[in-house]
Structure 1
């Protein structure tokens, strides 16, 4: 199964309201960057145990670790959580930048060093969401 099929299956398997919102945000991101590299992480560890929420990833970033190692990963991630949805922006060196740049404009959301958490897309200023995505993907 290719990554698009995995993403579609994941989104379709969510409760209807959350599925509709995640699908809407997924389509918004693809509209902003139609040729973006897609990732799907199912949230399972090497033993097949579910250890985190599944993520849809977009773009490509090289993550560097303190021990000198590195690996390819997505630039932004989108995840459905028990309390809503989350957008992750990876590879930010300045952990205050996301909150300082978008926190006061994004709407009713909690903005941390690399994550924007919100209950529903109705709580967001979607123009600002689009700005975050375009900025993170370099478009």
Structure 2
């Protein structure tokens, strides 16, 4: 809702809330590479992921729903997760909006901490992973 916006503006104006201004990227930040890969090239992608994981890198595998709706997002994410977990084992985690919050947060935390190298997710990751 928009209810907090007037309160936040007022607290900021009165100096009751700290304000940070980000004017650039952190020093040394690597550029993020995003690619869309067709199903026909999936084996090539898996090979590239294996090589990246061997170097200690991590990756998101974002699943988009063919149809709108949480039920379809969940099914697509869970199917993809099962397929990739069969390939990469316990280094894969799953995050989607239909999960219980604690389960989703555990998956995101494992990925952020490096215990998982591949995060299969719906667009729930658009809000970011610390």
Q: Which has the larger radius of gyration?
A: 2
Return the TM-score normalized by structure 2.
Answer: 0.31
Q: Which has the higher contact order (CA 8 A, sep 6+)?
A: 2
Q: Which has the higher strand share?
A: 1
